[in-house]
Amino acid sequence: MDAGLTALLGAVVGSLATLGSAMVTGRVAARSQFAQWRRQHRRDAYANYLAAVYDRDAALDVVRDALRADRPNLRDIDENMERYFVHARDVHRAAEIVILEGPSSVVQALYRAVHAADDLAEVMGRMVRDAHAGDPTRKAADFALAAQREHLLYQAVKGLRAAASDVLGDRRMRVS
């Protein structure tokens, strides 16, 4: 082989190696960028859901506090229930995005939070109906049940935060 051909083959091999290395580096960078993009979309979905849950639960707290009165103001309770329903719709919309973003560990934690919220809302709805009917017979028992279900909801939301934290790799989201 003459020196010119050897140099040409060396240049071709070197160019192919450089090109291959650049392709691998480009793929690794693209995967990293996609992973970061995905992580940010998930973080936004989880944060929006948790913010909507907070607003919904705060609205329900106002209703619960109004129901504590011996003679609750039914008009205020109904207005606050309307606020609660608006926030509940926001929670459902935010939940749809969490479901789309996944993964299944977060979706399962979300479903636990949804069921816990539904259980609490069931008791609160009965308490509002009883207040409208002027029937205080279950009031003490329902307040105790609502407190228990509120605790279960808190635990479910805490579990959702933990699942989201695990997916995002962010231990700061974990709250004991």
Q: What is the pLDDT of residue 4?
A: 74
Q: In the chain, what are the domains?
A: 42-173 (1.20.120)
Residue 148, pLDDT above cutoff 90 = yes
Q: What is the pLDDT of residue 1?
A: 60
Its pTM stands at 0.79
Q: What is the pLDDT of residue 28?
A: 62
What are the tens digits of pLDDT across the range 118-145? 999 999 999 999 999 999 999 999 999 9
What are the tens digits of pLDDT across the range 39-82? 898 999 999 999 999 999 999 999 999 999 999 999 999 999 99
Residue 174, pLDDT above cutoff 90 = no
- Indicate the pLDDT class of residue 104, thresholds 50, 70 and 90: very high
Contact 146, 127 (CB under 8 A): yes
Cα 118 to chain centroid, rounded: 16
Q: What is the pLDDT of residue 172?
A: 56
- Indicate the pLDDT class of residue 166, thresholds 50, 70 and 90: very high
For residues 13-37, one letter each, b for 16 or more C-beta atoms within 10 angstroms of the residue's C-beta and e for the rest, the string is: eeeeeeeeeeeeeeeeeeeeeeeee
Spatial CA neighbour of 124 closest among 146, 107, 105: 146
Least confident of 8-17, 46-55, 106-115, 160-169: 8-17
Residue 5, pLDDT above cutoff 80 = no
